[in-house]
A and B are shown apart, each in its own frame.
Chain A
Amino acid sequence: MRNELTTWLERISRLALIKVRDDEREIVIRDMGKIIEFFNSINELDLSNVEPLFMVLNEKPVLREDVARGGLDVNEVLLNVKESENGFIKGPKTA
């Protein structure tokens, strides 16, 4: 079970782009086991003829017209950016 959880954690960490630090690993593995067991309790129910409910709105979501409009002020947005060049945000390489 422990080894399974460790392999599992590595796979999920890659998908979520989150690394669990060495000092956190023990706690995460212990808690994950407990929480997944807690999740498994819904398997007791027979849900074969039930439709899922994803949102509780009775109305259709409101969408605005697809027309361009002014965005946020570039200088204000760049206040939160650590690395920028000529009004553009500098990001890491994609390949």
Chain B
Amino acid sequence: MDGLELVKLFHADPSLIYEYVIETYELIRKVEDSIKSYITLKPLDEVLKECKIVSDKIKDGFKGRLAGLLIAVKDVISTKGLLTTCGSKMLSNYIPPYDATVIERVSAEGGIIIGKTNMDEFAMGSTTENSAFFITRNPWDLSRVPGGSSGGSATAVSAYEATISLGSDTGGSVRLPASYTGTVGVKPTYGLVSRYGLISYGTSLEQVGPIVRDVSDAALILSVLSGHDPRDSTSLKVEAVDYTTFLKPIPLKKYRVAIIKECINEGVDSSVLSSFNKSIYRLENEGFEVSEVSIPIIRYALPTYYIIAMAEASSNLSRYDGIRYGYHVDVENKLWDEAYTESRSYGFGLEVKKRILLGTFVLSAGYYDQYYLKASKVRKLLYDEFSRILSHYDVVITPTAPSLPPRIGEAISDPMKLYLSDIYTATVNLIGLPAMSIPADIVNDLPVGIQLIGPRLSEGSLINIAYIHEVKSGLKNLIPTAVRPYV
């Protein structure tokens, strides 16, 4: 049963919330030791108290859209009074004094935060192996990574340890783990969802996005999260939309689909390619008009993305001085630069240090024009190219990732291999468009995802297309190998 159906049941009989919560904790007890989705899991008795509050409200007529649902939150989103580490030693004791806007919105609709999920340190990584605390394993195959950086959010939902999770997507950090775990991940249009309280990595690139087990729940949670927030200066002035109205098994218009030639080339794993073709065929059967387009400039998207992301990281992470919060060294008899340097050198992990150093380099005198400015110009070319294509087509479809989930240790040893997993997702962040990863196939008991990219604020159409694909493929509420003995 998905979240949308559960909430209907809870509205009718709130006592069912307790049953659902206890069953979820029972499952967590069985699988969490091998998967490790959570950095912080709230104790059951604390969550049961919150259930009572929601349940009493329902008895008084409350119709919260998430009433009683357990929501897992990536540890990069601020939660008042609840440890928020960003997967880093730097913030291993940090307790935010305020809630992110997305947390306020989830709570106002009766959603219950169950815990904070593991991630690559400061969202820098694609495998969740860069967490300062422990690695998270893929519930489909425990010897493989779940993707990243929102790996714990993806596994929590995939392994039924929560119904909905929130992640953040700077270059594919929601979509990639969704693809690797057989779940649905959404990267909303830049500015649709508030970033207030999201601990920043790449300001101009990132959005909070949900990971769920089917398209209906994606529509449900996106309806709650989206909308203007005056506390985020980049928040769009848009009216709230009820995306569940787009959950129709027939196309709401005649959709024109573009496939990018450069994204289905020899660099893609053959099993990913055949799954991709199967999905396209499903949509063609529903009357979608499919054409191939060429975007040669896309081969420069990945270096462009990494130059900009690292530049923004070096600026955003300059706030960590170990004085106001974070990894602290004794300041007695030290000058400010000695104390800051010491805190930062011990508080940050190696990948984070590399990205801050490279970001500092591309912004430094003598190199700014050669790297950061040039990358910002390539960004403009990509923006213009996608705008041109999306004036003729309603959706661009690509594989979400070029390969199946790598084995633990396989990608992390080589930075270029690691960065390549973002090749199809990162472009979308550079140009601020909405995108979704949805399950396309199961190959040798491993999930494969495809990515739908639409014009600005076209989330409704993407949900409609994803829903049609889900109905035709039957790929929803998938049960991964590690969970099968228990459900």
Interface residues of A (CB under 8 A from B): 8-9, 12-13, 15-21, 24, 27-28, 31-32, 34-36, 38-39, 41-45, 47, 50-59, 61-64, 72-73, 76-77, 79-83, 89-95
Contact = CB atoms under 8 A, between A and B. Distances in A.
Contacts of A17: 318, 337, 340-341, 344
B224 interface: no
Contacts of A21: 345
Given A39-B303, A52-B377, A34 B234 contact: no
A77 B465 CA distance: 46
A79 to B, nearest CB: 6
Which of A34, A53, A81 is packed against the most chain B CB atoms within 10 Å?
A53
A95 B378 contact: no
A91 B331 CA distance: 7
A12 B95 contact: no
B345 to A, nearest CB: 4
A83 B17 CA distance: 44
A25 to B, nearest CB: 11
A69 to B, nearest CB: 11
A47 to B, nearest CB: 4
Contacts of A13: 357
A38 B354 CA distance: 15
B446 to A, nearest CB: 28
B376 A32 contact: no
A79 B337 contact: no
B201 to A, nearest CB: 15
B129 to A, nearest CB: 15
B97 A56 contact: no
Contacts of B234: 55, 57, 61-62
Contacts of B335: 92-95
Interface residues of B, number: 71
B399 interface: no
10 contacts: A28-B350, A35-B306, A35-B415, A38-B302, A38-B306, A42-B374, A47-B378, A56-B204, A62-B230, A80-B326
Interface in B317-336: 318, 323-326, 328, 331, 334-336
B350 A94 contact: no
Interface string B281-307: 000000000000000010010111011
Contacts of A9: 357
A68 B326 CA distance: 27
B95 A92 contact: no
B376 to A, nearest CB: 4
In the A-B complex, list the 7 residue pairs whose CB atoms are closest, starting with the nearest: A56-B432, A52-B376, A80-B325, A53-B380, A92-B339, A76-B97, A92-B331
B236 interface: yes
Contact of B383 (A56, A83, A89): A56
Contacts of A77: 97, 324
Contacts of A20: 345, 353, 357
A47 B431 CA distance: 18
A53 B381 CA distance: 9
Given A16-B360, A79-B97, A95-B335, A43 B350 contact: no
Given A18-B341, A42-B371, A56-B204, 7 more contacts: A16-B344, A24-B350, A55-B204, A62-B235, A82-B328, A92-B335, A92-B339
B233 A61 contact: yes
B338 interface: yes
B191 interface: yes
B358 interface: yes
B325 A12 contact: no
B331 A16 contact: no
Contacts of B341: 17-19
A64 B232 CA distance: 10
Given A16-B360, A42-B300, A59-B236, A90 B353 contact: no
